[in-house]
């Protein structure tokens, strides 16, 4: 990787964490990705947590003139041959040509309704996932003349994936503080927690500090410390941060 690409990658990571407005951040990194990886256009779509019928929503595109393409995609997403990527519990980076031959791909509704009308032929997708929860998908597109994405392009997206996962999760949690709070009954059953321990774990996952928890539950810091030690022992973690990775 040459120095210019390293500097551009570093700039994108900085934008991910430091542009406060979420949609502005999405637009900015798509713009910068065009410098890091030559593209015709790029998009980021969010997972629709409010609807069982539709999977994706709220597209942002750069350049913006390609926005109608993604809006059109939402009408045909159920026919997307790459939709299974969104069922994986981990982040994935995949080129369209790795999923289906060019000949077969050009026969699909997605290609004919979304790619072809906008002069696009190649795509690479990065699924954005945190702790098994799907949060969004970043897609980059090229025309047939521009050629397919290289392994180096895939590697660069893989380098960005952890940073995108973290920022998208932070925004999801800010919009819905209960999004990552697990079912306490599942935790009680899985780790043999007492009611008080489950209550403390709930408050930790909600983002409360030890001081807040002591005050809210009317217990001393010493008593809280004992409960935390029991929670760590039962769940097999060594500290507070690891509690956020637990699965019931």
d(CA 201, CA 206): 8
Token pair, residue 54, equals 């539709």
pLDDT category of residue 169 using cuts at 50, 70 and 90: confident
What is the side-by-side strand order in the sheet with 93-95? 56-62, 41-47, 133-142, 122-130, 93-95
d(CA 185, CA 46): 29
Please indicate whether the domains covering 3-175 and 184-245 agree at the CATH topology level.
no
CATH of range 3-175; options 3.40.630.40, 1.10.760.10, 3.30.450.40, 1.10.287.470 = 3.30.450.40
DSSP secondary structure, 45-78, as one string: EEE-TT-SS--EEEEEEESGGGHHHHHHHHHHGG
So where are the chain's domains?
Answer: 3-175, 184-245
Residue 37 has pLDDT above 80, yes or no: yes
Strands (E), the chain: 41-47, 56-62, 93-95, 122-130, 133-142
The residue-averaged pLDDT of 10-23 equals 94
d(CA 130, CA 112): 32
pLDDT in tens, 91-143: 999 999 999 998 999 999 999 999 999 999 999 999 999 878 889 999 999 99
Q: Do 48 and 72 form a contact (C-beta atoms < 8 A)? A: no
Region of 76 please: left (phi>0), alpha (psi -120 to 50) or beta: alpha
CATH of range 184-245; options 3.30.70.1060, 3.40.50.2000, 3.30.70.3150, 1.10.10.10 = 1.10.10.10
Token pair, residue 173, equals 């949690």
pLDDT-wise least confident of 24-28, 34-38, 199-203: 199-203
pLDDT in tens, 56-97: 899 999 999 999 999 999 998 888 888 777 767 789 999 999
């Amino acid at each position: 990787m040459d120095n210019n690409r390293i500097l551009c990658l570093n700039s994108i990571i900085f934008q991910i964490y430091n542009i406060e407005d979420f949609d502005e951040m999405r637009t900015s990194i798509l713009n910068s990705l065009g410098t890091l990886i030559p593209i015709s256009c790029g998009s980021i779509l969010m997972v629709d947590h409010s609807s069982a019928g539709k999977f994706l929503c709220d597209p942002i595109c750069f350049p913006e003139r390609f926005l109608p393409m993604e809006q059109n995609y939402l009408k045909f997403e159920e026919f997307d041959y790459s939709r299974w990527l969104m069922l994986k519990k981990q982040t994935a980076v995949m080129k369209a040509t790795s999923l289906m031959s060019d000949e077969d791909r050009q026969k699909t509704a997605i290609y004919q309704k979304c790619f072809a009308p906008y002069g696009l032929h190649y795509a690479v997708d990065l699924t954005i996932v945190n702790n098994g929860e799907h949060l969004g998908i970043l897609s980059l597109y090229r025309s047939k003349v521009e050629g397919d994405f290289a392994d180096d392009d895939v590697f660069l997206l893989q380098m960005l994936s952890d940073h995108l996962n973290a920022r998208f999760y932070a925004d999801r949690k800010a919009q819905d503080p209960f999004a990552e709070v697990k079912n306490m009954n599942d935790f009680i059953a899985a780790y043999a927690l007492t009611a008080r321990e489950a209550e403390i774990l709930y408050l930790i996952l909600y983002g409360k500090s030890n001081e807040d928890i002591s005050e809210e539950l009317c217990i001393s810091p010493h008593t809280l410390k004992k409960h935390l030690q029991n929670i760590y022992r039962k769940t097999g973690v060594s500290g507070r941060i690891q509690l956020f990775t637990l699965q019931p």
